[in-house]
Amino acid sequence: MKMRIATISLLLVCAGCSSMGVQPWEREILAREDMQLTADPLEAATDDHIYFSKEASSGGRGFGGGGCGCN
């Protein structure tokens, strides 16, 4: 039930997505290394492994998007 509500809200958010954003030439900040969703992949992989070993939850993170939008 909780999952259903969460997923529907996510889809509603997506519906409003088409009007948001920046022009291709306004992506200077988004191109920064520290503005990437996974800025430090080594630290992220290390943490994922530690918490997977010590807790009952794992995963969730993933993928790209943002960035300089080049090519």
Interaction between residue 8 and other proteins (CB under 8 A): no
CA 34 to chain centre: 13
Total residues contacting other proteins (rule CB under 8 A)?
Answer: 58
To the nearest whole angstrom, how small is the minimum distance from the Cβ of residue 68 to other proteins? 6
For other proteins, the binding residues in 9-48 under the rule CB under 8 A are 10, 13-14, 17-18, 20-46, 48
60 is a site residue for other proteins (CB under 8 A):
yes
In the block, tokens 């200077």 appear at 28
Q: Is 34 helix (H, G, I), strand (E, B) or coil?
A: helix
The amino acid at 21? G
